[in-house]
Amino acid sequence: MSDNEARWYVVHTYSGYENKVASNLATTVENRGLKDLIQEIRVPTETVTEIKDNKSKEVERKIFPGYVIVKMVMNDESWYVVRNIRGCTGFVGPSSKPVPLSDEEVERLGVETKSVEVNYQVGDSVRITDSPFEDSVGVVDNIDLQNNSVRVIIRMFGRETPVELELDQVEPLE
């Protein structure tokens, strides 16, 4: 049960104990100096607007009640520490054998946000490097970092046409 790379694991807790498990685990990691083994602890939440008695207020709600997501290097010591936190019932996986989340699952859950840096901005001229419009030149109209997309206006058949692309499918003109 050893791997030297930190991966994301899902830990099952008693319902309502998610924050308590997360804070107890963080305290234990700090006290025992295990920051290199257990790197991040998250309780996925979302902010929703509830309307009650004609009044709206923003409330933070758990996306996965009863679960905590932990980024850790899996070995006997880290497994033991997490498994013995009060309120923790075990790891998600067959017969409580921890199974790490795949990269697709991590991305889909929004657990880890990848910061994308682009070296162009709205109004810049760019060349499309990949798509059916490859080698076309256009002007950046909109950049959406959260959805990894960019809208480029290119001229086709004498008309300006917006094209939606991924951020890495365009490069600035030199």
Residue 96 pLDDT: 64
* Residue span of the structural domain in which 140 resides: 125-172
Specify if 116 maps to a domain: no
Residue 113 pLDDT: 56
Residue 111 pLDDT: 67
Residues lower than pLDDT 50 in the chain: 1
CATH number, position 23: 3.30.70.940
Count up the domains in the chain and report the number: 2
**Do 25 and 77 have their domain in common?**
yes
CATH number, position 149: 2.30.30.30
Residue 142 pLDDT: 92
Angle at 99 between CA 95 and CA 105, to 5 degrees: 135
**Number of C-alpha atoms within 13 angstroms, CB side, residue 70?**
35
Q: Exposure of 39 by Cβ count < 10 A (0-12 exposed, 13-18 middle, 19+ buried)? A: middle
Q: What is the pLDDT of residues 4-37, one digit of tens each?
A: 788 999 999 998 999 999 999 999 999 999 999 9
Q: pTM for this one?
A: 0.62
